[in-house]
Amino acid sequence: MENTKITIVGTGSWGTALAISFHNAGKSVTLWGRRAEYVTELCAQRCSAYLPGISIPKTLPITSNIKEISASKVILWTAPVQQSQQLMESLKEYIPSNCPIVLCSKGLELQTQKPLSKLFENCLKNPIGVLSGPNYADEIANGLPAASTLAFKNLELANQISQLLRHKAFRIYAYDDVVGVELAAALKNVIAIAAGIVIGKELGKNCLAALITRASAEISRLICTFGGQKETIQTLAGIGDLVLTCSNEKSRNTSLGVALAQGLSLEKILNARKSVTEGVPTTKVAFDLAQQHKIHTPIISAVYSVLHEKKSIDDVLSLLLNNQHDREFE
């Protein structure tokens, strides 16, 4: 599979970073975007507003030609989750029937309350996988060492695709829990908003560590409820991504939490951003699912109260800190 043609759908920070990383590693990769005018700008300027300060190699193909989708042997999907169903519907007739699709976007679809893999499986017969891990886009683009989890239901296929994608600066480990990896990736964004509030309120490192640990239990409960594996929280896609994202303001979701803690409104924060902050819609879906299935998720509920019920952060923190169970595993 060494010269297999890889098409990356989505020209945001993550899609562009992956394209640069794979291209610099000598892989056959094309970056595809739906907005022709933006693709033309990328081709001319060879830099992205989503990845400031990082040059795009002149030899990396960038296109909006839909025929490039038809030539794909592997597709990596990095379009935002909330825009993905509409885009997938417009592209599905061009996607080769046996072409594996690797979902690299993190979130839960607001209208259907489903992970992206379920939406794709309902419309396509292609093998659907998920790539997730503790990966900041700029570091991947700059060739710094990183690792990630790649899950397909078929572990042999996961091994094949991971061997195709991995290179010396990007380790990729095969796994078979698609729904678990996808839920861990999505729910991590919710917890990152809570982490940002902890950072913005200067509640300390002890509090942040406790938050991450207790949040991992909430994520694990949701994963198991929806058929995932309990061990998935221990993977790069689980605790690895959770620790990275919650540890500093480089994450869009964490920085949003910091801004909320400093008194800015959600609307003002989102209006000032170019990139999508997936944790906001995902919080609503996660809260609704937890309520429907009677899953104990106090941190997710707290974030929901701040974002979608407009409750005071101080009031929500007070309630959360006073909500003490006697046993850790409960």
Residue in the block written with tokens 């890889």: 6
Residue-wise pLDDT for 165-179, tens only, equals 999 999 999 999 999
Residue-wise pLDDT for 168-222, tens only, equals 999 999 999 999 999 999 999 999 999 999 999 999 999 999 999 999 999 999 9
Burial class of residue 145 (count of CB atoms within 10 Å of its CB; 0-12, 13-18, 19+): exposed
Cβ–Cβ under 8 Å, residues 92 and 65: no
Pairing of β 146-151 and β 170-175 = parallel
Q: How many other CB atoms are there within 10 angstroms of residue 71's CB atom? A: 13
Task: Select which of 58, 125, 188, 268 is catalytic.
Answer: 188
Cβ–Cβ under 8 Å, residues 212 and 246: yes
Domains 6-176 and 186-321 share a fold: no
Give me 40's structure tokens.
Answer: 């033309």
Strands (E), the chain: 6-9, 29-32, 47-48, 51-55, 62-63, 74-77, 101-103, 108-109, 114-115, 128-132, 146-151, 170-175
Lowest mean pLDDT segment, chosen from 32-46, 125-139, 315-329: 315-329
Answer yes or no: CATH 3.90.1150.10 is held by domain 6-176: no
Residue in the block written with tokens 């590693």: 25
- Mean pLDDT for 116-124 is 93
Residue ranges per structural domain of the chain: 6-176, 186-321
In this model, does residue 16 exceed pLDDT 80?
A: yes
Residue-wise pLDDT for 265-303, tens only, equals 999 999 998 887 889 999 999 999 999 999 999 999 999
Domain spanning 186-321: which CATH class is it, in words? mainly alpha
**Is 5 part of the annotated catalytic residue set?**
no
- Mean pLDDT for 228-246 is 97
